[in-house]
């Protein structure tokens, strides 16, 4: 989105959409994502660079324009801190009717924004897109969730099923969604601050959207609005987290999410899940002792709701 690009006109009567994109050391991905957003007719972009060292910051400096705000952090704030910064900027300085969130490797499928603008979303405060890998498979890490512990809810488990992804399926009320293809109305953006930066990575988006839904905001899953996510976090062969330090945030924040969703019943969930997490250490080979050290710390900090004391030596929010 170079400075000389003229503003793409928003169709008459259509809503203005801004995008918040968080990036860290993925220059090729952010190039592709900004190009796609431009092709989709985005009205405004806020890019948060989390202290990149691969040339991303220098390239982003060339992209500043009246339609593209570039926020440079002093260090890596993680996804939680980056989105908190970008969402606050979009709320306070952009003021679009809708703001869509995405990682640097997530981007709207061709035609997604046009389809979004064709819908009447007056009864929704937030809309989650259907997210797929580039090869067409459902991106499971971005699968929206429903809270089976919500009052009056009769549902087994958190996950929505694959049938809900059919492009012709109706929109579905949900309670939690990730920050890839999540459209927030101005009301939702103003309802509460962004995710707690101390969460750093993993689950910050689910916790934030659960808080929104528990506060009365209406979130829907829209299978006709599609995003693609060109991502890789876990080893497909063994389902292990790499780099290994990610194990800590995944499990600590997962416990915090369970507690937010289930209240006192979360202790039962934890009793079922913790032994499985411990046994997963067998997939880490020589790294199993380090995996279990990080897991013990995550369990303790999640149970105690301790967000200011990550293990020494691993990336984390500024202390």
Q: What is the pLDDT of residues 39-95, one digit of tens each?
A: 999 999 999 999 999 999 999 999 999 999 999 999 999 999 999 999 999 999 998
CA atoms within 13 A on the CB side of 306: 11
* pLDDT score at 153: 77
Task: State the CATH number of the domain containing residue 84.
Answer: 3.90.550.60
Question: Which of 165, 197, 229 corresponds to the end of one domain?
Answer: 229
Same domain, 63 and 199: yes
pLDDT-based confidence at 143, cuts 50/70/90?
Answer: very high
Same domain, 40 and 112: yes
Same domain, 160 and 277: no
Bridge partners for 83 per DSSP: none
* pLDDT score at 10: 59
**Percent of the residues in the chain that have a pLDDT greater than 70, as a whole number:** 94
In a domain, 11, yes or no: no
**Percent of the residues in the chain that have a pLDDT greater than 90, as a whole number:** 89
Same domain, 130 and 273: no
* Torsion angle of C-alpha atoms 233, 236, 238, 239, degrees rounded to 10: 40
* pLDDT score at 209: 98
Q: List all residues 6 or more positions away from 178 whose beta carbon is below 8 Å from its beta carbon.
A: 128, 131, 141, 142, 144, 205, 206
In a domain, 66, yes or no: yes
Contact 225, 115 (CB under 8 A): yes
For the residues 114-140, what does the mean pLDDT come to?
97
| Longest CA span, the chain | 60
Tell whether the model's pLDDT for residue 237 goes beyond 60: no
* pLDDT score at 226: 98
* pLDDT score at 63: 97
Same domain, 97 and 33: yes
Distance CA 304, CA 309 (A): 11
Tell whether the model's pLDDT for residue 4 goes beyond 50: no
Bridge partners for 65 per DSSP: 68
* pLDDT score at 68: 98
Average pLDDT, whole number, for the chain? 94
For the residues 142-167, what does the mean pLDDT come to?
91
Same domain, 196 and 53: yes
Question: Which of 195, 229, 263 corresponds to the end of one domain?
Answer: 229
Q: What is the pLDDT of residues 243-273, one digit of tens each?
A: 999 999 999 999 999 999 999 999 999 999 9
In a domain, 12, yes or no: no
Same domain, 62 and 107: yes
Question: Which of 208, 229, 250 corresponds to the end of one domain?
Answer: 229
In a domain, 88, yes or no: yes
* pLDDT score at 3: 47
In a domain, 93, yes or no: yes
Same domain, 62 and 112: yes
Total number of domains in the chain: 2
Same domain, 38 and 135: yes
Burial 244-275 (b: 16+ CB within 10 A, else e): ebbbbbbbbbbbbbbbbbbeeebeebbeeebe
* pLDDT score at 1: 64
Same domain, 218 and 252: no
Question: Could you tell me the residue range of the domain that residue 319 belongs to?
Answer: 233-319
Same domain, 121 and 173: yes
* pLDDT score at 151: 81
pLDDT-based confidence at 238, cuts 50/70/90?
Answer: low
Same domain, 283 and 242: yes
What does pTM read for this prediction? 0.94
* pLDDT score at 13: 55
Tell whether the model's pLDDT for residue 231 goes beyond 80: yes
């Amino acid at each position: 989105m170079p400075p000389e690009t003229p503003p793409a006109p928003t169709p008459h009567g259509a809503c203005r959409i801004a995008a918040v994109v968080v990036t860290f050391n993925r220059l090729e991905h952010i190039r592709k994502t900004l190009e796609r957003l431009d092709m989709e007719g985005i009205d405004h972009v806020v890019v948060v660079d989390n202290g990149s060292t691969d040339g991303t910051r220098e390239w982003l400096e060339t992209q500043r324009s009246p339609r593209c705000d570039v926020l440079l952090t002093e260090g890596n704030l993680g996804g939680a801190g980056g989105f908190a910064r970008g969402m606050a900027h979009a709320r306070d300085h952009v003021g679009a009717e809708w703001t869509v969130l995405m990682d640097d490797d997530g981007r709207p499928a061709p035609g997604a924004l046009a389809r979004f603008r064709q819908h009447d979303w007056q009864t929704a405060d937030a809309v989650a897109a259907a997210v797929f890998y580039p090869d067409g498979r459902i991106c499971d890490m971005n699968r929206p969730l429903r809270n089976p512990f919500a009052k009056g809810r009769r549902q087994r488990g958190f996950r929505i099923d694959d049938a809900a992804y059919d492009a012709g399926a109706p929109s579905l009320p949900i309670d939690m969604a990730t920050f890839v293809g999540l459209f927030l109305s101005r009301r939702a953006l103003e309802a509460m601050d962004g995710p707690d930066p101390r969460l750093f990575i993993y689950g910050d988006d689910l916790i934030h959207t659960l808080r929104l839904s528990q506060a009365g905001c209406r979130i829907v899953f829209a299978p006709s609005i599609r995003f693609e996510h060109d991502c890789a976090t876990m080893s497909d062969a063994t389902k292990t987290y790499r780099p290994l330090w990610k194990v800590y945030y995944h499990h600590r924040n997962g416990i915090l999410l369970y507690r937010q969703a289930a209240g006192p019943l979360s202790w039962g969930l934890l009793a079922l899940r913790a032994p499985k997490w411990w046994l997963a250490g067998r997939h880490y080979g020589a790294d199993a002792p380090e995996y279990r050290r990080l897991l013990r710390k995550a369990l303790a900090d999640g149970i105690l709701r301790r967000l200011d004391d990550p293990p020494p030596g691993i990336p984390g929010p500024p202390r």
